[in-house]
Amino acid sequence: MSSMIFEHEATETDRDQVATVPPEVTARGVNCKRVVTTDVGLSIPRDLSFEAWERAGRQLSGLLNSSSWWLGDWLVYGKSHYSDRYQRGIQAAGLSYQTLRNYAWVARRFDLQRRRAALSFAHHAELASLPVEEQERWLDRSEQMQWTTKQLRAAICAERTGAVGNGTPNETRRLVVPRNRLPQWSEAAQQIGIDLDQWVLSTLDNAAKRVLDTEDALTVDA
């Protein structure tokens, strides 16, 4: 008898998509492992087998309305538990690594407990590059004002524009970059164990130093 991989954490208004993973037999008997889907992500057992994780990816890829949170959490788990095999799981599931990496970046920036069920994944993605304190402030305001993603983006832009145009000293500058660059930068920062903001500053400082050193050398030669 076949069965699905997921058990949805049901609420009063949402009781669908409930299923369990096929039981895995251990030395102590049958142990039922479950990947639980919620409105804000996946709850995955610490000792889930690679085969069960891979099977979950296949099923997620087949759901037309599969949550971006679920896919992001799925990749984060796979990279941390099966570093030598997770690419195989992605290919087997027929998923795009670039898309998954974008989802995973947002998932890493928001712990499960900090995600707001009343807001969409896109709301969180808009705030993913901000410090935690700013994320929380904008999440609170978005919930209270019931903003769409577009309204949230406009509010952030208006605040930044006001900060620059109100005649006060502008000690910080905000650089607008394509959103698809941020996951790659974040991954690079994680590789060396520093925050994204620190990595950006360090990278820019190093690049500036190289340019200035080159100009100084050319001046001396002249």
Residue 36 falls inside a structural domain: yes
Q: pTM to 2 decimals?
A: 0.55
Those residues with Cβ within 8 angstroms of residue 185's Cβ, 6 or more apart along the chain or in another chain:
196, 199, 200
- The C-alpha atoms of residue 190 and residue 196 are separated, in whole angstroms, by 8
Residue 79 covered by a domain: yes
Tokens encoding 11: 């609420």
pLDDT score at 34: 77
Expressed as residue numbers, the domain containing 44 is 1-115
In this structure, is residue 135 part of a structural domain?
no
Q: Is 63 helix (H, G, I), strand (E, B) or coil?
A: coil
**Token pair listed for 152:** 């949230």
Beta bridge partners of 87: none
**Tokens standing for residue 72:** 């992001």
Domain annotation covers residue 3: yes
Backbone angles phi, psi at 37, to 5 degrees: -95, 135
DSSP state of 18: B
Q: How many CB atoms lie within 10 A of CB 38?
A: 19
Measured between its terminal Cα atoms, the distance across the chain in Å is: 81
198 within some domain: no
Report if residue 212 sits inside a domain: no
Q: How many domains does the chain have?
A: 1
Indicate whether 87 belongs to any domain. yes
Pair 53, 78: CB distance under 8 Å: yes
**DSSP code at position 166:** S
Provide mean pLDDT across the span 71-81.
92
Task: Dump pLDDT digits (tens) for 123-139.
Answer: 999 999 999 999 999 99
Least confident segment among 2-6, 47-51, 100-104, 152-156 = 2-6
Model confidence over 150-185: pLDDT tens digits? 999 988 888 887 754 444 444 455 667 777 777 888
Task: Examine residue 187 and state whether it is found in any structural domain, yes or no.
Answer: no
C-alpha distances (whole Å) from 28 to each of 25, 32, 44, 52 are 8, 12, 21, 19
